[in-house]
Amino acid sequence: MPEETEEVLDAEKAALLVNDLRRSFSSGKTRSYEWRVSQLKSIAKMLEDKEKEIKEALHKDLSKPELESFVSEIAMTKSSCKLAIQELKNWMKPDKVKTPLSTYPSSAETVSEPLGVVLVISTWNYPFLLSLDPVIGAIAAGNAVVLKPSEIAPATSSLLSELLEEYIDISALRVVEGAVAETAALLEQKWDKIFYTGSGRVGRIVMAAAAKHLTPVVLELGGKCPAIVDSSVNLQVTAKRIIGGKWVANNGQACISVDHIITTKEFAPKLIEALRNELEEFFGREPMESKDLSRIVNSYHFARLARLLDEDVVSEKIVHGGQRDETKLRIAPTILLDVPEDSAMMQEEIFGPLLPICTVENIEDAFDMVTSRPKPLVAYVFTNDERMKKEFVQNVSAGGLLINDTILHVTVSTLPFGGVGESGMGSYHGKFSFDAFSHKKAVMYRSFEGDSALRYPPYTTKKERLLKAIFSGNIFGIILALMGWSTN
């Protein structure tokens, strides 16, 4: 028997898919509170029912430890879903706003309405969370959705396709698997919004495709996230939290992972020693054998990281780790000291278990290093100096800032998560996800009472004086104008 070939989604099939979803959206079904909350509850049930299968898929794709998979992917997705279910009625309510004296008598409000048919393109490093988190926001906002999971995490992509078809109303939500060809076919279509998580290189492609249809985009990208470490810190806690934001975060394969550290020449040896001690405590003396470290996702990314490490000016800078096994796609936690600024490691986002430490004479010089580079998705500082904290918040521009810890800010649903400049645009999480997929429609109400002759011709000096007083909010001037007196 001849082998069955998998059908590729081309532009024609993509157009039919979008048209189907647009018909479903136009029917009005996705706009109701009942439909939205029922889909969110179905996702919540799926997370409860299929936890074991989700962990297995994540282990196949990335060798993620079970606990890390639960905390960073399953629990966080559950939290997003639970919050959306609890708050959906409030999010959907119109927001009353004040109106000026010039429109009296009137009232006004903003009404959140769904954008329509939206595309979510997710990434491979947190393939479950970063697929479903924006989808939850899109459904909560009342949209029809196409999800394109990453082919680099094939087990999770396949599972998402299977589970969402089982649990969700497929007349309004579809999963499209595939690689570049399928993504290109989807990007040719007209969407009401595109949400993309991934690299800046592909982000530019997405934005260019969206521009053809004037489609708004949310781009969740990355960048070289710095961590400034002052000598005033609790050294042991600092080391643990840096490890938590580097190697515990998918072995450094995270957009919010600590990309590099900046500290003083004097303090660097103490910090390195503390990191060594805690790394051994967490992953043992043979980290390559640790079951608590994720592997590198594939051979391409292994080779990319090996290239960064093998550059002549870099390899001699290793002060800890450096072990690797290409057959198992594993690289040990590796610390480097004073890697040259013009090296590939210091120019590219590392996205892996390599951690360069850059030294400066004075900790204040670290601010110049951060602000002279493209704005990162997140910047970290460790210090007990209140003045330094204040300067950090005032002077460092990044998608987000975190003081004396790493990565935890993404768990706070009341904070927006997103980039700025080259690290992205737009934000989500919590109500920000609902807003990202909604249009804030301005609505104003007036009655037929209280119509004023002031707005209509003939224009007179008295009308001009009165209108100037009204627009300036000058009550005394309004009284004088009504009496026929001038304020001049």
Closest to 258 measured CA to CA, from 396, 393, 381, 385: 381
**E runs forming strands in 289-353:** 318-320, 324-325, 330-331, 334-337
The number of CA neighbours under 13 Å toward the Cβ of 74 is 23
**Residue 8, H or E segment:** none
**307-314: which pairs have CB atoms within 8 A and are 24 or more residues apart?**
307/344, 308/343, 308/344, 308/345, 308/348, 308/350, 308/352, 308/354, 309/334, 309/345, 309/354, 311/343, 311/344, 311/345, 313/339, 313/340, 313/343, 314/339, 314/340, 314/343, 314/344, 314/345
Catalytic residue among 73, 182, 220, 278: 220
220 is catalytic: yes
78 CB neighbour count, 10 Å cutoff: 17
Structure tokens at 419: 């980039």
Q: Are 13 and 186 in contact (CB under 8 A)?
A: no
Give the pairing type, strands 378-382 and 226-229: parallel
225 is catalytic: no
Task: Let me know how long the chain is.
Answer: 488
Cis peptide before 458 (omega within 30 of 0): yes
Angstrom CA distances, 330 to 293, 295, 340, stand at 9, 5, 25
Angstrom CA distances, 38 to 243, 301, 384, 435, 441, stand at 40, 40, 47, 20, 25
The number of CA neighbours under 13 Å toward the Cβ of 41 is 8
Structure tokens at 78: 């559950």
Catalytic residue among 81, 225, 255, 358: 255
CA 375 remoteness from chain centre: 15
φ, ψ (nearest 5 deg) of residue 428: -150, -170
CA dist 54 and 382 (Å) reads: 35
CA dist 265 and 182 (Å) reads: 50
Residue type at 371 in one-letter notation: T
Question: Which residues does the annotation mark as catalytic?
Answer: 220, 255
